[in-house]
Amino acid sequence: MRIAVLLPCYNEELTIEKVIRDFRRELPEATIYVYDNNSRDKTAEIARNAGAVVRRESRQGKGNVVRSMFRDIDADIYVMADGDDTYPAEFVHDLMKPVIDEEADMTIGDRHSDGSYESENKRPFHNFGNHFVKGLINRLFRSDLRDIMTGYRVFNRRFAKTMPVKSEGFEIETEMTLHALDKRFRILEIPIQYRDRPPGSESKLNTVKDGIRVLKTVFWIFKDYKPLSFFSFIALIFFVLGLLVGVPVVTEFFQTGLIAKMPSAILAVGLMVLATNSLTCGFILDTIVRNHRDQYELRQNEYRE
């Protein structure tokens, strides 16, 4: 069985050697790939000296790195972690076992079950953002996942080779989870311990910038994957606004037989037309999305490991 350990890296010279050494200890038969994403330090050199296969991805962003990894690397089992030593390598066997036993297509290293992420992570807004996005996605897909944005994951070949990666940055983890939920891949969460970066190692995350990008990803995927719900909500807004503007006009007409508030009448009609059009778009796009899911399932049936 071919096992590939995938380590996206950007300026991780302080920790990358230890990460490679830890995964080499746990998985001596695996090939460890370090994708250097335009690092300005000695990450690539240290990784190469530590025995990893080093490749370079010139397009900045973790999503771009993962896209290249999935396209370029052939393996049966894919282990994805970070080069910052926040995910202990000793949990990799727990993550791999359900995938090897064909009980899951993707396993997720759950940082929240034991409370280690909240205690180790020194960025409170990240904790809030994780819980907020988790709540949105669980409500949207009627799931019960505990850790949506973890970077410690294991995939089988089917998942890695059939996932269209569209994200460019750190929202890639959210996209993976959403794709798996929408396409009904088997997901299993495995509790792990999380540890914060060692002193001197700086996080590449920007709380506001990356938080906005994740929310944009959730918004667009809500529109793309659940168009009927999305456009029905918009239609409801237009409908309510149309009622608020139009009811006084209709009431006046029944009382006097005249329409004195012509601008309000035109606005009300326009809002109702927008509501109808939005609902119609939702039904049409929902049919297209359902057809796309059917085609994706057929391609899955044709896929061979």
Q: Which helix or strand (DSSP H or E) is residue 135 part of? A: helix 124-141
Q: CA 66, CA 79: separation in Å to the nearest integer? A: 12
pLDDT tens digits, one per residue of 37-66: 999 999 999 999 999 999 999 999 899 999
Q: Which residues of 273-293 are buried (b: 16+ CB within 10 A; e: fewer)?
A: ebbeebbebbeebbeebeeee
Query: pLDDT for 187-196, tens place per residue?
Result: 999 999 988 7
In this predicted structure, the answer to whether residue 167 has a pLDDT above a threshold of 90 is no
Residue 246, classed as helix, strand or coil, is: helix
Say if CB 81 and CB 124 are below 8 A apart.
Answer: no
The letter for the amino acid at 266 is I
- Structural contact between residues 68 and 4, judged by C-beta atoms closer than 8 angstroms: no
d(CA 18, CA 8): 15
For the entire predicted model, the pTM comes to 0.79
pLDDT tens digit string along 209-263? 666 766 776 777 778 888 998 999 999 999 999 999 999 998 888 888 888 888 8
Query: Which among 74, 67, 150, 138 is positioned nearest to 106, based on CA atoms?
Result: 150
